[in-house]
Chain A
Amino acid sequence: MNFASFEFLAFLAVLTLVYFLVPKKVQWIVLLLGSVVFYAFAGFVSFFFLLFAIVISYITVQILGKRIESLKKYLEETKTTLTKDERKAYRAKHKNTSLVILCIGIFVMTLSLVYVKYLSSMIGFKITERGISFGKYALEIMGISYYTFISIGYMIDVYRERAAVERNFFRHALFVSFFPQLAMGPISRYADTGEQLKATHSFDAKEAWCGFLRILWGFFKKLVVADAIAPAIGFIVSQKLGGIYFILLCLFYSIRIYGDFTGGIDIVLGSAQILGIKLPENFNRPFSSKSTAEYWNRWHMTMGNWFTNYIFYPLSLTKTMQKLSKWGRAKLGTGVGKRLPVYTATIITWLATGLWHGIAWNFVVWGLLNGVVILISQELNPLYEKFRARFPKLWNSAPYQSFMAVRTFLLMSLIRVFDCYCDVPLTFDRFFSTFYTFNIGEIFKGGLLELNVSLTQYIVIAVGIVIMTAVSRLSAEKPLREVLWGKPILGNAIMAILCIAILVFGSYGLGFDASAFIYGGTFN
């Protein structure tokens, strides 16, 4: 079920009605059934993989939970009989066994993800009327990256004793499979949603109205802006246009992925908000970032947090890294030795982030480029600080701040363009074409209108971008929808205008084929 569809809106409306009509103690069951229905649209095989993830993570979490309890109990009982060192040794041994169990759980979950995303195209299967047929059938399993990461995160949090163990299998299933976050995230942690999903919720008009407005806003970004510019991107890529068109591609693709992904997340978070569930935010005005590091703290935040918490930090603290640091200090000097483990962990983390998006060279290069740019940026930081100290007025001036934001936007747009071609040499080739193909005049002589987007559509897209920018700025302190809740006439007028704008200017229905979300489709 696509979020940008009437089916989803109808599904959400029915679910909301039932959710608030049933006795509160069974609300979580309604959510679980809703998630099952939502997922059932993806087919039996998808449902099987989700169930597999639920069962594996449940078993792992239960074993870890039991071990934590037994450890605590043992330590309590032996408080007086064992020495401090003996207790420490016992705890370490116990923890090691738990770590093995955790690793087995993570391995099985990861194996399932790796099989679906990378191996099924070689040894896949499909279910036909005659039974199961094996062959090169690349599996498309909705949301497997997201629920696998949610489950692994939960297992690690339980191991670290930072999350409670959910004993009820069905409540655990709800945490892993809560439907709004399955298609494109956010990647929530148990601390974010676990308790909320168990709690009872009364209908709250403010939450429902704000949630609905957020859904509309998501539709606007997705259908009026992102999907409208998609044909131009497709045309530039398919025709392998270079020069000024490559620069346009970078800009257009940034606009598209922003509208598509943030719009989709708005629909997800708005849907959950109507039901009284607050999912973690995934974006915080990313295009206002002044540096690459800041950008990644504002873009796809839950993914960034996940990789930081579960890959970067554990990796940085491994014995191997400590040895590497020691070796570096001895052979290459203190400065390099100090940086070596952090930089190695950064590059590995970004490589993993790239591979999470897909097993292709463009994702590898994309991940590595992000890591390298962040590291260079960090190395240049002392220089920036000197500049800042020397010219504080200039640094704090609006034009310089804007310059930094534009610089970051352009840099990220350039790195992101690897997604478009899915071909590393071709991307570099088209990039270098900007240095020897001087065709800027073409776009003023009708070239823009030959990209399968009409003048009126460009005008709508431009107006859409202006509105998106304005809303982003106005929401810096507090979400605009919450401000509008306090001004009902204006708020409802904007709601009506949004509805009409989406219905008239939206790219949906026959003749449009871009309604599937980029992150929901490619990065399942």
Chain B
Amino acid sequence: MKKFIRIISFVCALLIVLGAVICFGAVLQDARHDNREAHLLCGYYDTTDPHDVIFIGDCEVYEGFIPATLFEEYGITSFVRGSSQQTVWQSYHILAETLEKETPRAVVFNVLALHYGETPLEAISRMAIEDMEWSEHKLDAIKASMTDEESLLSYFLPILRYHARWSELDSDDFKHAFDKHVDITHQGYLMQTDIDPVDTSDTRKPDDLLNTALPKRAMEYLDKMTALCREKGIELILVKAPTNSVRYYWYPEWDAQIVDYAEENGLAYYSMVGKDEEIGLDWSQDTYDKGLHLNVFGAEKVTSYFGKILAENHGLTDHRDDAELSAIWEERINSYYNERGEK
């Protein structure tokens, strides 16, 4: 009898530990959910309609291109699959995941992240990846993004990563621990309505480049993206969103390499750097953080400018006459304006 009690109590203890690991992990992981940038990728899994264009990339993508504006002005259906400091290897795996679900006409990849040869910040990288649904692509994205200090196990058991946050927990963390991630974007676009103009008194100059070559690893993943799109018959378009920041200075040496790459691979490349006048950008109005990122007003101008390029140069169909699609998108556009108007 004692042997039986021993075995049963041992198994129960293991189950309690397992349950606690899962529950505490979920609660502790949830403690970062106040951060809006932790909810950028999840919205895509709920969409069922196909898209003409998929935008892939970092902050310049999810704060620079507005699918609602693109449909409203050009009838192009699109979705933004961007995340904070998204590295090229993350972009590749997110793209592979996306292309398993649908085959868009074009994929637009913002090239800023090509200057990262390794994952810049574990916390930000992890925040993005954890918003993905579990699949082989997520696993590949984790493996490609992991820093030396990380363990793969901690992605399966979040308690191993977030346990130190136990003292910061509040009741909300317990309340929403098992809630599904909430999509706070507009088809992947994260709206920013504040205005914080570029500081014109900041006369800092960008650092000199020690090595002008874009990292090999980043270029290898760009090759993979090119090959994947080619295999699926999708046009890959390279783009560089406008920049007005010393912190994210886009060096001409980098740009020249992208131009060469695009030429060698028969890809279109549009750099919007230095085209503020053409786009109509006013950095005293169109940024919410002193020129580091665009606000909604700047993003609308960039989307209008780039939408015209997509429509004219890449022959994308105008779906505004399609009643069914228009109905879906009208709802999305209304939601977009609701938030834009509210703020």
Q: Is the CB of A456 within 8 A of B13?
A: no
Q: Per a CB cutoff under 8 Å, which of B2, B149, B166 touches A504? A: B166
Q: Is the CB of A454 within 8 A of B151?
A: no
The count of residues in chain A whose C-beta lies closer than 8 Å to any C-beta of chain B is 25
Q: Is the CB of A510 within 8 A of B17?
A: no
Q: Is A241 an interface residue (CB 8 A)?
A: no
Q: Is the CB of B159 within 8 A of A503?
A: yes
Q: Is the CB of B163 within 8 A of A509?
A: yes
- Give B contacts to A, CB under 8 Å: 2, 5-6, 9-10, 12-14, 16-17, 20-21, 24, 122, 149-151, 153-154, 159-161, 163-164, 166-167
Within 8 A of B (CB), among A468-499: 488-489, 491-493, 495-496, 499
Query: Closest approach, in angstroms, between the C-beta of B14 and any C-beta of chain A?
Result: 8
Known: A454-B167, A505-B166, A510-B149. A493 touches B9 (CB 8 A): yes
Helix, strand, loop or mixed for chain B's interface? Answer: helix
Q: Is A371 an interface residue (CB 8 A)?
A: no
Query: Closest approach, in angstroms, between the C-beta of B157 and any C-beta of chain A?
Result: 9
Known: A489-B9, A492-B13. A6 touches B161 (CB 8 A): no
Known: A456-B167, A496-B17, A504-B166. A488 touches B154 (CB 8 A): no
Q: Per a CB cutoff under 8 Å, which of A456, A503, A508 touches B21? A: A503
Within 8 A of B (CB), among A214-269: none
Q: Per a CB cutoff under 8 Å, which of B9, B17, B154 touches A509? A: B154
Task: Tell me the bound Cα distance from A508 to B13 in angstroms.
Answer: 23
Q: Is the CB of B13 within 8 A of A495?
A: yes
Q: Is the CB of B13 within 8 A of A496?
A: yes
Known: A496-B17, A503-B24. A510 touches B122 (CB 8 A): yes
Q: Is the CB of B151 within 8 A of A6?
A: yes
Interface centre among B149, B154, B163, B167 (most CB of A within 10 A): B163
Q: Per a CB cutoff under 8 Å, which of A454, A492, A496, A503 touches B163? A: A503
Q: Which residues of A contact B10 (CB under 8 A)?
A: 209, 488, 492, 495
Q: Is the CB of A511 within 8 A of B17?
A: no
Q: Is the CB of B5 within 8 A of A489?
A: yes
In addition to A205-B6, A493-B13, 11 A-B residue pairs with Cβ atoms within 8 Å of each other are A456-B166, A488-B6, A495-B13, A496-B20, A500-B17, A503-B160, A504-B166, A505-B163, A509-B151, A510-B150, A512-B164
Q: Is the CB of A492 within 8 A of B166?
A: no
Q: Is A341 an interface residue (CB 8 A)?
A: no
Q: Is A367 an interface residue (CB 8 A)?
A: no
Q: Which residues of A contact B167 (CB under 8 A)?
A: 454, 456-457
Q: Which residues of B contact A503 (CB under 8 A)?
A: 20-21, 24, 159-160, 163
Q: Which residues of A contact B9 (CB under 8 A)?
A: 488-489, 491-493
Q: What are 18 A-to-B residue pairs whose CB atoms are below 8 Å?
A: A205-B6, A488-B5, A488-B9, A488-B10, A491-B9, A492-B6, A493-B9, A500-B16, A500-B21, A500-B24, A503-B21, A503-B160, A505-B166, A509-B154, A510-B122, A510-B149, A510-B161, A511-B164
Q: Is the CB of A509 within 8 A of B12?
A: no
Query: Closest approach, in angstroms, between the C-beta of A359 and any C-beta of chain B?
Result: 32
Known: A488-B5, A493-B9. A500 touches B122 (CB 8 A): no
Q: Is the CB of A504 within 8 A of B24?
A: yes
Task: Tell me the bound Cα distance from A504 to B168 in angstroms.
Answer: 13
Q: Which residues of B contact A500 (CB under 8 A)?
A: 16-17, 20-21, 24
Query: Closest approach, in angstroms, between the C-beta of A506 and any C-beta of chain B?
Result: 7
Q: Is the CB of B12 within 8 A of A504?
A: no
Query: Closest approach, in angstroms, between the C-beta of B85 and any C-beta of chain A?
Result: 17
Query: Closest approach, in angstroms, between the C-beta of B126 and any C-beta of chain A?
Result: 9
Interface centre among A492, A495, A508, A512 (most CB of B within 10 A): A492
Known: A488-B2, A500-B17, A500-B20. A506 touches B163 (CB 8 A): yes
Q: Which residues of A contact B2 (CB under 8 A)?
A: 488
Residue of A nearest to B162 (CB): A509
Q: Which residues of B contact A512 (CB under 8 A)?
A: 164
Interface centre among A456, A495, A503, A506 (most CB of B within 10 A): A503
Q: Which residues of B contact A488 (CB under 8 A)?
A: 2, 5-6, 9-10
Q: Which residues of A contact B13 (CB under 8 A)?
A: 492-493, 495-496
Task: Tell me the bound Cα distance from A503 to B16 in angstroms.
Answer: 13
